[in-house]
Every structure is written in structure tokens, then in C-alpha cells.
Amino acid sequence: MAAPAGQRPGSLLPVPLSPGDTVGLVSPSSATAERITLQVAAETVEALGFKVKAAPHYASRYGHLAGTDAQRAGDLDAMFADDEVRAIVCVRGGSGAARLLPLLDYDAIRANPKALLGYSDTTALLNGILARTGLVTFHGPGASSSWNRFNADQFRRLFLARELMEYRNVVDAGDELVPRRRRTLTIAGGKARGPLVGGNLAVLAGLSGSRYMPAFDGAILFLEDVNEEPYRIDRMLTTLKLSGALDRIAGFIFGECSDCDPGGGYGSLTLDQIFDDHILPLGIPAYRGAMIGHIREQFIVPVGGLVEMDADAGSFRMLEPVFAA
């Protein structure tokens, strides 16, 4: 289901964030194995220049989850409703965020628009909230992820300086004659513009057919994944094709597929072949290799934000602000 009638996806902008503001920490997916990870997550947010407010159940455990569904959904609702909290960062991904989608108070979220940051399993929340409220959310490192110099710089430029970011891979040849890392590869050339939607392929494909799937009409779809053999990537792209999503997009960006080598057996399609089968026939600009995914240095991108992509250059840029004035 799309955002409410008359409200295009991405039309609701979160409140801006300033140094010294309070940032909420939530665990909407898997539990954290070691308490020191939670300590590091809180210290990271403080090192970025903010006060920290941890949700009541962010350190809880229910099986592999960070608390029951009601507890985790209640924590997220409480952070949106809390006037002291100006933005929300997920501690980690894992599994279980989609279980919260029927439980969230979307009217309260719409009335209290705030930046929500995370990736991987958080894809379910980023796109579900966009679909139900039109609120721009953010795909990028969780609080317990690596906050190296690159990621911290991305955050400060986007959240604090509120730049209209251009996302172009940082390529370093090192001691190689020709760069091998962080390369982009054009699948089909050209430029396209539209609202950015997507995230983790497996999680997004799991939303197919639900009212928590965002609108794909004219969108720029970005995807990434980890620990998936190519046949599974093929299956999930087939799901998006059969749902009609791929036929409606204006452009396609694939990030990294980390540890996605074929297993044993009779052989495997390559990722090149899979993109040739699913993306080339669409006749839209497309490229792969963007610094998005389960990688140490990753772009922080606005889900629902209006962007323009250039598949030949292997880059995309924001066209509009993604925070309220």
C-alpha cells in the first residue's frame, strides 16, 4: 500500500538533527550477544555529538530476538512519541523487524516524523514506514556497526550539514596498476530520477504482496545482500519481477553482495547473468558495485528521497532536502 492519498512517498520529512540533541537507541531485530556491544553502540552515538536515550528493552532477549514483538514495537513507538528524542538509530539488524510492522502506531509516527537509521533487517522498517506514512528514512550503519572515518563523515554531511549528497564510490588503486576494489559496472547506461527505495534484497522480497511494500512507480531501486548463493538472488529478483515491482522502476542500483559465492552441485548462474536476465530487459539505467551493503565503509542514503542516478558514471545524487526546514 502506498502512503495516504494525496501524499507521495518521501513527502514527509523528519525533523532536523543538531549537535547535542538526544538520539534514541532501539533493538528492533536480533538480540545483541555481548553487553559490551551495547556499550560501544552508546559510546558511538555520543562520539558523534549526541545524548543517548536507550529504549527500555534494547538489551532484552526473547529467543534470538531483542525482546518480544510487543516490547520491540513498543520501544519504537515510544521513541517516535518522545519529544526529547530527535532521531532514532537501530543497534543492529539480524532478523525479526518485519514482525513489528502490523504493531506500529503509524498515526503517531506520521505526527512525530523523525529520522530512523539502520540497514540489513531494518530494511523492513525503513520501507514499511515509508509505505504507510511517506516518511523519509535512512539506510546506513547501525549503532553497533563500524563507525570509521568514512561512515562518520557521511553521517555528519547528511544529518548535520544537510548536504544534497552525491554518492560516488571512493576508488583507490593501492599498489595495483588498475583499481580492483570498489569498482562500479554499468549494466545499462543512461540517467534516471525518482524516489529511492530498497535495501536488503531478502528482506524487501519478503514484504512482497503486503501493505508494507513501498510504491515502485518511477522509483530508483537499490539492493544489497549478504551470505546468499546466486540461485537465491535469482529467486528473490524473480519474486520482485512476479510481483510487478521491477516493471515499474525507473532505475536500478545494486550494491555489494558479500559472501555470495555459489555452493556445490551442478554449477550456478553468475550474478552478471542474473542481472542480464532480470534487469537488462527492463530497458532502464542500471549499475552495480555501489558502496551499499554489508561492508565496512557504506553510503548513508535517504529511503524515499528524490535522487538522480547516472549508470554510466556509477553514481547518484540527491535532488531535494530530506529534512524539514
Catalytic residues, which ones?
Answer: 120, 224, 294
Q: Which three cell numbers stand for residue 282?
A: 527492463
Look up residue 15 and give its three cell numbers.
525533523
Tell me the backbone φ, ψ of residue 179, rounded to 5 degrees.
-55, 140
Helix (H) or strand (E) holding 125: helix 123-133
- The CA-atom distances, in angstroms, between 136 and each of 29, 52, 286, 305 are 20, 22, 23, 6
Residue 157: is it exposed, middle or buried by C-beta count within 10 angstroms (0-12/13-18/19+)?
A: middle
How far is it, in rounded angstroms, from Cα 53 to Cα 59? Answer: 13
Residue 151 in grid coordinates: 561512515
- Given a contact cutoff of 8 angstroms between Cβ atoms, the answer to whether 147 and 44 are in contact is yes
| Cα-based torsion angle of the residue sequence 246, 249, 250, 256 in order, rounded to the nearest 10 degrees | -70
Q: With CA atoms as reference, report the closest residue to 184 among 252, 262, 284.
A: 252
